[in-house]
Structure 1
């Protein structure tokens, strides 16, 4: 084990440090990076000059931006199109949960309504009144609902695109904002088609017809064709909801990407893995800020470290939906006893004891795995403090727990 450690604090050659930073960031796809390329270049520039403090300062500011950057998503469309259900789906809550957007309510007001994400405080979804329920032309409508405050718009439609929705899309583009077109209730449309044409029904062809209709409508109105997403608010992993999430993550600015990724419901293994990769970046940046050049002691864990580790583990459990409250909700929806769900996950028991030996064993066990998977970092003399290795262990464990729960409950929900 000793060969894994060396004291690089007196190393005047920063080539290894720059090389490792380059390798790390190159491994991350551009559309999933949580800091901008400009920030990465600035970090590397400081490292080349041997200015470790300067690099850490840049990372510290980047982390603050990630934590504090507001994300405001506007959801609009005709009344009855399923906006409220869609907002609840994005927030990962059911229609009967506390603070859920009320479903099936007729719009009678011009007031917009905000819904904060239950786990990501900086993320707010805005339910805008359907433009068809107002007497305002699209441009005035956008000004009334304060269009400049939103990162992007999602126009929700249940069936046919109306003139109101098309005019609104034009106005949003004119205001130089992005919008995404979502057709909801796809499952209802498929069911109706199957019942009316039981012998000739073809699911793939019907979905293509729905998409083609929307494309043709935009074309006939001399409009650029946006990305069109066919979804069911009741069956999120089916149809285009995962594709919509990938698109939003890719299009949003880097500093807002991390919290948007963490906000998404655990509807597929890919969604869970995406959260894991984003948290890996965040932990790595935190570790760098804390000082990567310190030698990592094999033994010893102070009480403050233990308390902070507990906080981190609980935080990850909440973000990945494997905390006690999430288990209760999952048990109710899937009709699987909560005790059964607790038995199949591991994260609640990682820090059952405060014994230093137990934490040390965890650390050494995971360090071998980490060194094997991330040899590039370790080989070049970059060493995280012990607590950061354990955070990676916590992250891997809650990620696997989330996947296990998805397998156990998906077919029953």
Structure 2
């Protein structure tokens, strides 16, 4: 393709160390602690290097942080009695249906001690582990935890469709003693509500029934002289309802900061808030890469988009579409679920057409328009005073477009149900 367009780009209007520190600080100070993908300690260390004028030192810290984010494994253990909704809960976290490839098999009777791993289809560092219920074993919680290699997991989710057994409570105690986080999840809440409504059509009250379900679970803990933890009421088939979004927020907050980014990217787009959170995480990653590339550009450079730049943009766009569930494969699944032509689904979104040229407009002119649109909307870059290279500005524009597509698709899908 050769040169698409060229102009003069600089890192910032006044590229000095003080500006770099203030720009870096300005970006991260507006992001909540639980949403940051690098620790506050790392942010301070980078600022310190910039303040000392050590561009290479700051670059090295950012490179290490990005590598740690990309490589950090996330292991989630899910346990509970057979029939309690473990497999459906795992599939919900994987974002796949029960009949799709790689899904946890539903309705399987546990007969062995063997744990089963399930890799997330989009986030390769995330693994969910289906552990057999402790009630099926013949040894105490401590031995059970050793057998299932408890040290490997970031946290445990204890799942039940009725009430938590004493064995499960004892297991939670042992997990706590071993300094691991655990969460109690009460599944099949939608089924309970339907059954109650069917049996008491005139007196049924949704909130009252939910309160009764929660109280019933709480009583289990008080009956066993245990402090009552937070109990999450969920439906594995209606994730935007009940406590599933609250559970996800809790897990994100409790996770190691290095693992937070990829876990946020793995979450299903069940609400606009979930989509926004995923957007913020991805934006930070792009911003850090752009800052790292930019701080080395201490002199004006000619901005040229070559073939390999366009290839990189295409890879980035495809990654964003996949993570936000607006890639071709995801759109085909949506169309199949709603029993509509896939072309009808594609009509409502913009991202599939971002890198497609037309007879009326070359790709170069199209990308230039995107840059102009991005610059006018962001006033430089996110009001930090930095002017990053074109490829990063375009990545941020692509991310914004994909994010809006995900929201449009979510609203459209709900309107069809």
TM-score normalised per structure 1: 0.94
Deviation of the 1:290 alpha carbon: 1.1
Indicate which of 27, 51, 56 corresponds to 2:54: 51
Pair 1:386–1:195, CA change in 2 (3 A): same
CA distance in 1, matches of 2:371, 2:12: 21
Deviation of the 1:222 alpha carbon: 2.1
Q: Which segments of 5 or more consecutive residues in structure 1 lack a partner in the other structure? A: none
Pair 1:82–1:411, CA change in 2 (3 A): farther
CA RMSD of aligned residues (A): 1.8
CA distance in 1, matches of 2:151, 2:190: 34
CA distance in 2, matches of 1:357, 1:201: 61
Pair 1:10–1:191, CA change in 2 (3 A): closer
CA distance in 2, matches of 1:19, 1:373: 14
Identify the residue that residue 179 of structure 2 maps to in structure 1.
Answer: 176
- Residues 8, 293 of structure 1: 8 Å contact kept: no
Question: Does 2:151 align with 1:148?
Answer: yes
What is the CA deviation profile of residues 115-158 of structure 1, one whole-angstrom value per residue up to 9, with x for unaligned ones? 00000000000000011111121111111000000000000000
Deviation of the 1:341 alpha carbon: 0.6
Indicate which of 95, 101, 117 corresponds to 2:120: 117
Pair 1:7–1:118, CA change in 2 (3 A): closer
- Of stretches 198-207 and 79-88 in structure 1, the one that deviates more from structure 2 is 198-207
Deviation of the 1:293 alpha carbon: 6.1
Aligned ranges 1:129-168 → 2 under 5 Å: 129-168=132-171
- Residues 116, 125 of structure 1: 8 Å contact kept: yes
Which structure exhibits the higher relative contact order, with contacts defined as CA atoms closer than 8 Å and separated by 6 or more residues?
2
- Of stretches 352-361 and 13-22 in structure 1, the one that deviates more from structure 2 is 352-361
Question: Does 2:238 align with 1:235?
Answer: yes
CA distance in 2, matches of 1:7, 1:119: 34
- Residues 72, 151 of structure 1: 8 Å contact kept: yes
- Corresponding residue pairs, total: 405
What is the CA deviation profile of residues 287-341 of structure 1, one whole-angstrom value per residue up to 9, with x for unaligned ones? 1111246377786321111111111111111111100001111111222321101
Question: Does 2:53 align with 1:60?
Answer: no
Question: Does 2:107 align with 1:107?
Answer: no
Question: Does 2:391 align with 1:387?
Answer: yes
Identify the residue that residue 339 of structure 2 maps to in structure 1.
Answer: 335
- Residues 375, 381 of structure 2: 8 Å contact kept: no
Indicate which of 29, 35, 39 corresponds to 2:38: 35
Identify the residue that residue 84 of structure 1 maps to in structure 2.
Answer: 87
- Residues 298, 364 of structure 1: 8 Å contact kept: no
Q: Secondary structure at the match of 2:184?
A: strand
Identify the residue that residue 373 of structure 2 maps to in structure 1.
Answer: 365
CA distance in 2, matches of 1:31, 1:234: 27
CA distance in 2, matches of 1:384, 1:178: 40
- Residues 91, 117 of structure 1: 8 Å contact kept: yes
Deviation of the 1:20 alpha carbon: 1.4
CA distance in 1, matches of 2:228, 2:284: 35
Pair 1:8–1:183, CA change in 2 (3 A): closer
